[in-house]
Amino acid sequence: MVGIKDVARRAGVSVGTVSNVVNRPHLVSATTRSRVLTAIQELGYVRDESARQLRAGRSRILALVVLDLGNPFFVDIARGAEQAAHDEGLHVITCDSGQQADREQSYLSMLAEQRVRGVLLSPVDTSGVALETFRRNEIPYVFVDRRVPADEASSVSVDDVAGGALAARHLVERGHREIALVNGPQILAQCRDREAGVRSVLADSAARLSVLETNDLDVASGRDAGARLLGMSPRPTAVFCANDLLALGVLQAMVSSGVRVPEELAIVGYDDIEFAGAAAVPLTSVRQPARRLGHRAATLLIAETTEDTAPPARQTVVFEPELVVRESTKTVVR
């Protein structure tokens, strides 16, 4: 494998000069520079980032660890983050923890060993012990889609309590009195918060809430929940699902067993992924600004890594969710 020494020999200069040509071309005379550049061309020299990084002590890579890449919501976050990173000449690598604490931990260890420049994290493990390593080694991290106290770290999130409330209020206003919540696992703060939002609204209403908890936040779990929903009595007239994948699963279960949506069951989802509007019955959903979330989080993280002077103050950014009403809740009860 060709290294900087080979280039230097070929061009008849020292390795220092080659390095300068690559990194600070203005320090090198035009003639030498072109001689070096042709040598690089001819040999097909590609610089070795690991050596570069060893010397520099840190890499040019940001990491993003998400809960589920199968959820387009997180893909959008990734896109926002990548865009912000790209503008700074950094790269983002995205890791899918699949909502499993051990996989998350495995990725985090890997990232620490890689000495990534910083980490964007949408955590499973709420305890934060996994981050001890980063703290010790001064690798900055920013939480995405999860609010944390500002003294702990910066975070960029969407107000999930408000989002849950938005959905619940909508259903109550439509006249529903038997409402179900199909929620993901309680370890996820998003799920806890959305439920809290729902409860805060329903407490002041005449509506009754039943909660079905699923293991995963995916379509298959939604189908299961849908099946369970069908067996309930009294059967709810409306269901709020903790995300759109669940909602699509529930909807599939209804369609396949001939239950009409929204006449017999109204459905509200969460995230407003692109597929929500294309569903069997277009889904009412709580929209989150995913791309902006990712972009903003990456921007914050980058600011923390470029510590010209003092480390910048931690920030807690909270976006507001927005209700998008579609067919799946078009009916009014009573």
Partner DNA sequence: ACGAGCGGGTGAATCGTTTCATACGGTGAT
Partner DNA sequence: ATCACCGTATGAAACGATTCACCCGCTCGT
Look at the alpha carbons of 100, 148, 78, 63 in this order and tell me if their dihedral is positive or negative. negative
The site partner of 19 among a copy of itself, DNA, none (C-beta below 5 to 8 Å per kind) is: DNA
Element (H, E) at 178: strand 178-183
Interatomic CA distance for residues 38 and 7, integer angstroms? 9
* Residue where the block lists tokens 């370890």: 187
What residue type is assigned to position 151 of the chain?
D
Q: How far is CA 158 from CA 146, 185, 209, 220, 291, in A?
A: 8, 19, 24, 26, 12
**Minimum Å distance from CB 299 to DNA?**
24
The site partner of 20 among DNA, a copy of itself, none (C-beta below 5 to 8 Å per kind) is: DNA
Other C-beta atoms lying within 10 Å of the C-beta of residue 88: 15
The site partner of 318 among DNA, a copy of itself, none (C-beta below 5 to 8 Å per kind) is: none
Structure token digits, residue 12: 């008849």
The site partner of 72 among a copy of itself, DNA, none (C-beta below 5 to 8 Å per kind) is: a copy of itself
- Judge contact between 300 and 81, C-beta under 8 A: no
The site partner of 251 among a copy of itself, DNA, none (C-beta below 5 to 8 Å per kind) is: a copy of itself
Interatomic CA distance for residues 116 and 93, integer angstroms? 10
**Minimum Å distance from CB 105 to a copy of itself?**
13
By DSSP bridging, strand 141-144 and strand 118-121 are: parallel
Interatomic CA distance for residues 310 and 294, integer angstroms? 24
**Minimum Å distance from CB 140 to DNA?**
18
Report the interface residues with DNA, using CB under 7 A: 1, 3-5, 12-20, 22-23, 27-29, 31-32, 45, 47-48, 51-52, 54-57
Q: Which is nearer to DNA, 54 or 332 (CB)?
A: 54
- Judge contact between 84 and 294, C-beta under 8 A: yes
The site partner of 133 among DNA, a copy of itself, none (C-beta below 5 to 8 Å per kind) is: a copy of itself
Q: Which is nearer to DNA, 19 or 183 (CB)?
A: 19
**Minimum Å distance from CB 252 to DNA?**
49
The site partner of 91 among DNA, a copy of itself, none (C-beta below 5 to 8 Å per kind) is: a copy of itself
Own/partner long-range contacts of 50-54 (Cβ < 8 Å, ≥24 apart):
53/115
Interatomic CA distance for residues 206 and 62, integer angstroms? 49
Report the interface residues with a copy of itself, using CB under 8 A: 1-2, 44, 46-51, 53-54, 57, 59, 69-70, 72, 75-76, 78-79, 82, 91, 93-96, 107, 109-110, 112-115, 132-133, 136-138, 219, 248-249, 251-252, 255, 274-275, 277-282
Interatomic CA distance for residues 328 and 334, integer angstroms? 17
Q: Which is nearer to DNA, 91 or 199 (CB)?
A: 91
Q: Which is nearer to a copy of itself, 82 or 104 (CB)?
A: 82
**Minimum Å distance from CB 163 to a copy of itself?**
22
Q: Which is nearer to a copy of itself, 28 or 77 (CB)?
A: 77
Return the DSSP state at 333: -
Using DSSP's 3-state secondary structure scheme, residue 236 falls into coil
**Minimum Å distance from CB 141 to DNA?**
20
Q: Which is nearer to a copy of itself, 185 or 277 (CB)?
A: 277
The site partner of 17 among a copy of itself, DNA, none (C-beta below 5 to 8 Å per kind) is: DNA
Structure token digits, residue 306: 């470029």
Return the DSSP state at 97: -
Q: Which is nearer to a copy of itself, 109 or 306 (CB)?
A: 109
Q: Which is nearer to DNA, 33 or 147 (CB)?
A: 33
